[in-house]
Amino acid sequence: MAGKKWLRLVKSLHQKKYRNQHQLFFIEGAKAVSTLIAAGSVPERIFVTPDQESQFSYSQTEIINEQELKKISALQHPNGVLGVFRMPSPKEISPKDWSVALDDVRDPGNLGTIIRLCDWFGIKNIVCSNTTVDCYNPKVLQATMGSIAQVNMVYSDLESYLGSLGLPIYGAVMEGTTVYQTALPASGILLLGNEANGISASLMQKLHAKIAIPQFGRETAESLNVAMATGILLSEIRRR
């Protein structure tokens, strides 16, 4: 049976405060845990229910019963595997490729989808404002499907951080010029804003260009969701 100290610790990791204090996070599901391990992350502990035991043969694997797992899981229906990992240290952003920057993206599903998109399109770095939802939030991780291990996540004050990189910043803005006719350099920052309010006024002043996905339907159509806009814009960046 899993030790009480560990169960208490995992439970505390539902909260950002304790994740940061311990520099640990957890992710659930055999596939997501395996993906992180395959990417080089070393698990601190893997808790598995008896029927899942055969899937993992690490020294850190511990058997947990269904009741215990339910207590520490973030899922309504826990799926038998929960891995605890150490947060990687943020790395420096490469000036030779595109990076994504997020200004105050609040929805965990949106951030999870954006991380997964960056994995698909080979974008190695995401810079988030300190107000953006924590990437180790269990709901974000559920939406990443293990892609979190492929992308370097940096949380910072965007104004000073992006300024220090010296790369052109392309902001996704409703009233921007169509991305289809915008020349895009080999490297830069693609900046997306908050779900309701877009990019903050102070960052708008730092933009090299405002780009938009043109609308072909009725003018009052609901705007594209931030994750969808990221997907379409990354496709535009990679197709060139």
Q: Which two tokens stand for residue 135?
A: 């990437």
Q: Which two tokens stand for residue 127?
A: 């810079």
Burial 39-50 (b: 16+ CB within 10 A, else e): eebebbbbbbbe
Residue 51 exposed, middle or buried by CB count within 10 Å (0-12, 13-18, 19+): exposed
5 vs 218, which CB is nearer to a copy of itself? 218
217 binds a copy of itself (CB under 8 A): yes
30 vs 224, which CB is nearer to a copy of itself? 224
Residues found in the chain: 240
Q: What is the nearest approach in angstroms of a copy of itself to the Cβ of residue 208?
A: 21
User: Under rule CB under 8 A, which residues in 69-108 are in contact with a copy of itself?
Assistant: none
From the centroid of its chain, how far is CA 239?
Answer: 23
Site for a copy of itself (CB under 8 A): how many residues?
36
| Rounded alpha-carbon distances, angstroms, from residue 223 to 118, 197, 201, 210 | 21, 12, 19, 16
Q: Which stretch binds a copy of itself (CB under 8 A): 55-63, 64-72, 121-129, 185-193?
A: 121-129
154 vs 224, which CB is nearer to a copy of itself? 224
Q: What is the nearest approach in angstroms of a copy of itself to the Cβ of residue 214?
A: 8
Contacts with a copy of itself by CB under 8 A lie at 35, 38, 113, 116-123, 145-147, 150, 180, 213-218, 220-225, 227-228, 231-232, 235-236, 238-239
